[in-house]
Amino acid sequence: MSEGRPIRAILADDHAVVRSGIRQFLQSAGDIEVVAEADDGPAAVEAIRANSPDVVVLDIQMPGMSGIEVTRWVRANSRHTGVLILSAFDDDPYILAVLQAGANGYVLKTADAADIIQAVRAVHEGKSALDPEIARKVMAQVSGRTLTTPVERPTDRELEVLGLAAKGYTNKAIGLQLGISDRTVQGHLAKTFDKLQASSRTEAVMRAVSIGWLPADLGQLPEE
Q: Are 44 and 81 in contact (CB under 8 A)?
A: no
Asked if CATH classification 3.40.50.2300 holds for the domain at 7-130, the reply, yes or no, is yes
CATH class as words, domain 142-219: mainly alpha
Q: How far apart are CA 68 and CA 215, in angstroms?
A: 27
pLDDT over 70, % of the chain: 84
pTM: 0.66
Q: What is the pLDDT of residues 120-146, one digit of tens each?
A: 998 888 777 777 767 666 666 655 555
Q: What is the pLDDT of residues 103-113, one digit of tens each?
A: 888 888 888 89
Give ranges for CATH 1.10.10.10 in the chain.
142-219
Q: What is the pLDDT confidence band of residue 217, given thresholds at 50, 70 and 90?
A: low
Q: Please enumerate in sequence order all residues whose Cβ is within 8 A of that of 2, keeping only pairs 6 or more positions apart, or say none.
A: none
Neighbours of 145 (CB within 10 A): 12
Instruction: Tell me the pLDDT of the chain averaged across its residues.
Output: 83
- Could you tell me which residues are beta bridge partners of residue 33? 8
Q: What is the pLDDT of residues 46-56, one digit of tens each?
A: 999 999 999 99
Q: Are 221 and 166 in contact (CB under 8 A)?
A: no
Give ranges for CATH 3.40.50.2300 in the chain.
7-130
Q: How far apart are CA 93 and CA 96, in angstroms?
A: 5
Q: Residue 129, class by beta-carbon neighbours within 10 Å (0-12 exposed, 13-18 middle, 19+ buried)?
A: buried
